[in-house]
Chain A
Amino acid sequence: EIVMTQSPATLSVSPGDTVTLFCRASQSVASSLAWYQQKPGRGPTLLVYGTSTRATGVPARFSGSGFGTEFTLTISNLQSEDFALYFCQQYNNWPPLTFGGGTKVEIK
């Protein structure tokens, strides 16, 4: 099983900031990495797949990069609606499909 590790667990930032979220895989997942956003009481929504391809309707301020075992999600010019929980997921090796533990982006 591929273990996904996200860091940091929490980011305290201000609107307008740029933040970088990290996701590490225990072994290579090539570019088979997705990012999701989740807000309280709602299901997750897909942000990025294939490491760097934004899902339909996702603003350009979200950008993903990386390959193999190290990945990042950068959010530029943070908006109020971006304060949420973010998860990464690998889909290169399965079963099982595995998720990181999440990073909470909160208002400072």
Chain B
Amino acid sequence: EVQLSESGGGLVKPGGSLRLSCVGSGFSFSTYAMNWVRRAPGKGLEWVATIGGRAANGYYADSVKGRFTISRDNSNNTLFLQMSSLRDEDTAVYYCAKGWRGERSFFDYWGQGTLVTVSS
């Protein structure tokens, strides 16, 4: 059974930093692209970032480019999102999601999410 479990969310002040983690199990983690998607309160889903299976490249939404960094540790089946220069509008539940095939893909499994609140 595929499982994704996020952690690391919390309350942070504007301008602060936070690192999210997502542990995957039940599949060959290094084979698949992995993603972060967020949902702000009362809003729809927003794709944040994608990283290929071999971690060669990261791809980012314009709204987070230059502030967020996606990375992965395939030896420990873990995906990360390093967030810096956080803004009020980054407040959201952050989900990690497994790509079905390749970077340009839909998401066949999602975690339960971790809440990030940016507020002074």
Contacts and interface: CB of A to CB of B under 8 A. Distances in A.
B112 interface: yes
Interface residues of B, number: 26
A87 to B, nearest CB: 5
B113 interface: yes
Interface of A: 34, 36, 41-46, 49, 55, 87, 89, 91-92, 94-102
A48 to B, nearest CB: 9
A5 B12 CA distance: 32
Given A49-B106, A95-B59, A43 B95 contact: yes
Interface of B: 4, 35, 43-47, 50, 59-62, 95, 97, 100, 103-113
B61 A46 contact: no
A95 B111 contact: no
Contacts of A36: 45, 107
Contact of B106 (A42, A46, A95, A102): A46
**Which of B62, B108, B111 has the most chain A CB within a 10 Å cutoff?**
B108
A97 B113 contact: no
B103 to A, nearest CB: 8
Given A43-B113, A95-B60, A87 B104 contact: no
Contacts of A41: 112
Contact of B100 (A49, A92, A99, A100): A49
A42 B95 CA distance: 10
8 contacts: A36-B107, A43-B4, A44-B97, A94-B104, A95-B50, A95-B61, A97-B50, A99-B46
Given A95-B59, A95-B61, A44 B45 contact: yes
A49 B104 CA distance: 13
A55 B35 CA distance: 19
Given A92-B104, A94-B59, 18 more contacts: A43-B4, A43-B95, A43-B113, A46-B109, A55-B108, A87-B45, A89-B106, A89-B107, A94-B103, A95-B47, A95-B50, A95-B59, A95-B60, A97-B50, A99-B44, A99-B45, A99-B46, A101-B43
